[in-house]
Amino acid sequence: MKGVKRWVWPALVALVLFVAPRALAGEPGRDVVETFARAHRGEPLRYVAIGGSITQASGPGWVGDWLREVFPLSAVTVVNSGMSGTGSSLGIFRVERDVLAHQPDLVAIEFCVNDGGVADESTIRYMETLVVRLKSAPRPPAIIILEAAARTGVNLQRHRRVARHYGLLEVDFQEAVDARLAAEGKAWSVYFSDDVHPNRAGHALYAETMRRVLSPLVEEARRRAPGDASPREMLPAPLSVKPLLLDARLVPLQGWMDKAGDWRPVPAPTEWWGRFFQGGIAAERPGAALRIPFRGTTAGVLFALRENYGTFFLNVDGRTPMHVVANGRNGFSSVLAEADLPPGEHTLNVVLPAADASGGGAGAKIGGPVMLGYLLVAGENQAGSERAAEGPFGVETLRELRFETVPTAAWSWTGPFPVPAAPDGRAPADAISAIGLPFLPRLENAPDADEAVEWRAVSAGDGEEGLVDFRALTGSQEPGVAYARALWRSETEGVALLSVAADYYAWLWLNGERILTLEGPHRVPVFLPVRLRAGENRFVLKIGAGSAGFSARLKLAPVGPVDPPPAATPGPATP
C-alpha cells in the first residue's frame, strides 16, 4: 500500500482482524429476512422453538399462527420443542433429535432463565454449540435468541454476547415486560404465575413482543426481489475457550442388553413428561451395575424421577463418582458424569447402592428402582479407540461402598455472623456475598488451631442424625455465615470417599487443608476422595445461608490404602 507509513500498516491489519469476525456475522436478523423472503415467495417454512418450560407452555412458539397469517402462500410447519426444567446444557444434546430432525428454516432458542445457575464460560460454550451446529446444517436455519424475563431480572449478557458475535436477532422480553408494567402501573402477577413463568396474559405479551420485532423483517422480505439472497456466510471464530460439542446427541437406551440381567427394557412413562422418552431401561436390585462403553469426551444420562425411585452412583472409568438422587419429585432430570475427558474409548458406570449404604443427602431414599432413558454423549469426532485407564472407583468398589455419618454428637458450632449489606444498602437475600469473608481469620488460616470463640455442642435433639442445621439451631431465617467443627477417628491411614450434603455456600477443611469450595448450585451430595490419617481427623465447616437452607451433613466410606485421584470440581445442580 503505497504511501502508508510503516507504523500504520500493522495497526490497519490489527483493526481488520479485530472487526472481521463481527462483519462476517452480518447484521442482526439478516438470516431471518432471507428465510421470510423465501416463505413470501411460497416456499415451505418450518419453524422450531426450543427452550424450557416457558417455551413448552407457549403453544405454537408464540408466533406460529402469526407466521401462517403473514405467509399465506407458504406451507408453515410449527414444532414446539420446549422441555420443562432444561437449559442449553441439555439443549446441545437435544438439538439433533428435537430441532435438526425437523429440517428447520427458522429456530427460536429460549434458555436464558434455565441457564441462570450455569457458569458464564459454560453457558457461552453451550449456546455457541447450538448456534454453530444449526448454522453448519446443509440448509442453515435463521436463528432468533429469546431473552425471557424474571421478576428479579436474568443474566442476559452471556446469551446476548453469543447472539451479537454471530449477528443473530434478539427478542428482549425483559425490556418489554418492564416497559409494560411501568406504563400500566400493574403488579408482576398480572402477567406471571410466579417469578419466571408467564400466565395467559404474559404469553400474549411475549407473542405481541415477537410480532413487533419480526414485523419489520416481514416487510423487508416482501420487498426483496427473487434471487436477492446473500451468499452463505463464514462463521466467526468461536468465543468459547473450550472446543464446541458439535456432535452431542441423545442415545436411546431402551434396547440395551444387560449381560447380568439386572436391567430390563421399559416403556416410556405414561405421565405428560413421558413424551420426552422413547422408552428406557430400569433396575432395582441393590448392587445392580451397568457398564456403557462410549467413544468421546463427554458423557451423562437423562433419567426419570419418581417419589418411589431410589438413587444411583455414576462415574466414568472408575473416576470419582457422584451420587444421583432420582426420587425428589416426579418428572425427569439429566446429569453429566464427566466433560472434557481425553478423547478415546471410555466406560460409563451406573451402580445402584447396596441396601445398607447411606451416602445420600437428607431424606434421600437409597433402595428402589432407577430408570435411565438416554445416554448423553459428545466428542466422538475427536476420539480414537485408545482405551482409558481404570481408576480406583470401579463397579465392584461402588457396589461395596458403605457410608458412616459423622454423628451429631461430634459437632460443635459458632455463629451465625450476619451478612453485610450490599454497597447500595440493600439487604442481602443470601450469603453468597459473604462466604469468602474471614469472620474467624485465625481459624481459616490454621483450621487445626482453636479460635477464641464460644463453641456450642450440637445436641442429638436438634434434628436428624448428623445434620447440622443452623436455622434450627438459631431460630433465625436471616442470611448469615456459621462455622462448625467435628473430630472423626480412623483406625488406619487410608483413602475414604467423603459425601458432603451441603446447601449452596460452603467451605470445608480437613486437617488444616481446604478440600471443598461450594459457591453456587451444585449436585447434592458432593463426593470427593480424601486421605484420612490414623487417629483423629478434624473437619471444619463454614456454611452460608441460601434459599435451599442453612445445613450440612458429612458421611465417609472407607475405600482402602490407595492414592485418591484428583477430585473433580462439583458441577452445577441438575434441573
Distance CA 105, CA 143 (A): 9
Work out the percent of the chain whose per-residue pLDDT is above 90.
63
Poorest-pLDDT segment among 45-59, 212-226, 320-334, 421-435: 421-435
Edge-first strand order for the sheet with 289-296 is 289-296, 344-351, 311-316, 322-325
d(C-alpha 192, C-alpha 54), whole Å: 11
Q: What is the pTM of this model?
A: 0.84
**Lowest-confidence range among 36-40, 360-364, 384-388, 499-503?**
360-364
At residue 574, the pLDDT reads: 42
According to CATH, the topology of domain 405-560 is Jelly Rolls (2.60.120)
Q: How many helices (H) and strands (E) does the chain have?
A: 12, 26
User: CATH 3.40.50.1110: which residues of the chain?
Assistant: 8-223
* pLDDT at site 202: 98
Question: What's the rounded mean pLDDT across residues 248-276?
Answer: 92
Residues near 189 by beta carbon (within 8 Å), at least 6 away in sequence: none
All three cell numbers of 165, joined, read: 458475535
pLDDT-wise least confident of 18-22, 117-121, 152-156, 269-273 = 18-22
pLDDT digits (tens, 9 = 90+) for 142-188: 999 999 999 988 899 999 999 999 999 999 999 999 999 999 999 99
pLDDT at 161: 96
What local confidence, expressed as pLDDT, does residue 229 receive? 56
| Residue 29 pLDDT | 94
At 428, is the pLDDT very low, low, confident or very high (cuts 50, 70, 90)? confident
Cell of 466: 448428623
Pick the CATH number of 249-400 from 2.60.120.260, 2.70.98.90, 3.40.50.2300, 3.30.1280.10: 2.60.120.260
- Is the omega angle on the peptide bond into residue 72 within 30 degrees of 0, that is, cis? no
The answer to whether 414 and 453 are in contact (CB under 8 A) is yes
Is it the case that residue 115 has pLDDT exceeding 50?
Answer: yes
Which range has highest mean pLDDT (12-16, 177-181, 518-522, 569-573)?
177-181
- In contact, 56 and 87? CB cutoff 8 Å: no
Q: Is the pLDDT of residue 25 over 60?
A: no
User: What integer pLDDT is reported at residue 107 of this predicted model?
Assistant: 98
Task: State how far the alpha carbon of 59 is from the alpha carbons of 63, 94, 109, 170, in Å.
Answer: 9, 19, 15, 20
State the pLDDT at residue 448: 62
Q: What's residue 3's pLDDT?
A: 37
Q: Which CATH class is domain 8-223?
A: alpha beta
The per-residue pLDDT for 466 is: 87
Q: Is the pLDDT assigned to residue 468 strictly greater than 60?
A: yes
Q: Which DSSP string corresponds to 117-142?
A: TS-HHHHHHHHHHHHHHHHTSSSPPE
Segments of the chain assigned to CATH 2.60.120.260: 249-400
Asked whether the beta carbons of 431 and 477 are under 8 A apart, the reply is no
Mean pLDDT taken over the chain: 87
Q: Decide if pLDDT at 350 tops 70.
A: yes
Give mean pLDDT, residues 301-314: 94
Residue 553 has which C-alpha cell? 451433613
Q: Is 59 helix (H, G, I), strand (E, B) or coil?
A: coil
Q: Three-state SS for 360?
A: coil
